[in-house]
Amino acid sequence: MRAAVSRSRPRAHAICDRCGFRFNHDELQWQFQWAGPRLQNLRVLVCQSCLDVPQEQLRTIILPPDPVPIQNPRPENYQNADNPNSPIGQAPNPTLAGSNIGTLIQGGGTYSVFIGSSSKKFSQSATLSVSGSSFANWIGKDWAASQAATFLPTTIDSTGLALVALGFEAVAPTDARFLGSGATVYAFQGSSDASTWTTLASGTTAGTVGESISNSNLGGNSYRYHRFAVSGNGSAVAVAYLTIDTNRGYTVS
């Protein structure tokens, strides 16, 4: 028993709600706990040794006001910084290097082949429901253009960035062939003016669903534009994924 007894100054006894020992009632204290922005009385009388400090994690966090903004701010232009032709000559996010260009604008569009997984269905890939003749069906990169540029420029900047393609990989949709009718001719090409294209690698597809075509031994000249083209015949054409390795260390995928 931890309670004091006095004949001259009697004090009531009480049992601690936690430990169960006997104390003088006036020595017991109410237990409080944080409940949102204020303390709440739990209606528990406890002795000094059983009294807990209110848990701060149960307290509402009050955020201070935002700082007063400065006049004439100069934030970084992240779009330019992400482009390989940035002022610092780096590409913090290589997957955003240059602009996506091409004629496969249906389905997921030209951007779909450079983002996400290599496993995509036809509806999520860069597609055309009716393919054009020869190599009119293609997807590629303009290395010197801003990521915001969604169209093929009609004029060429002589100071534009040119890169050497060391290799590439193209993947067909998981539920379709590169060309719906079956095997066809493909070409990986480079160009300095987006008009005359030089074939860096070519061959014939196997005509299978989810087919992958790759070449890691290209090299040679540098080009502002690179593309993967599929010869069409009027049937549907699609590319789910395209990776281009370059001499500047940009792996676009």
Q: What is the number of residues in the chain? A: 253
The token pair that represents 214 in the structure block: 């790759």
Distance CA 177, CA 115 (A): 20
**Could you tell me the domains of the chain?**
13-58 (no CATH), 97-252 (2.60.120.260)
Distance CA 136, CA 126 (A): 14
What pLDDT was estimated at residue 3? Answer: 87
Distance CA 149, CA 151 (A): 6
Residue 94 three-state SS: helix
What pLDDT was estimated at residue 59? Answer: 92
Q: Which residues are within 8 A (CB) of 56 and not within 5 positions of it... i.e. 6 or more apart? A: 34
pTM listed for this prediction: 0.60
Helix (H) or strand (E) segment spanning residue 81: helix 78-82
In the chain (253 residues long), the average pLDDT of successive 10-residue segments reads 86 94 94 93 94 93 89 74 44 57 92 88 94 94 69 46 90 96 96 92 96 92 93 96 78 46
Distance CA 192, CA 225 (A): 6
CA 155 to each of CA 16, 63, 190, 251: distance values in angstroms, whole numbers, following the listed order: 87, 52, 17, 26
What pLDDT was estimated at residue 219? Answer: 83
**Distance from chain centroid for Cα 102:** 23
Give the number of other Cβ atoms within 10 Å of residue 64's Cβ: 5
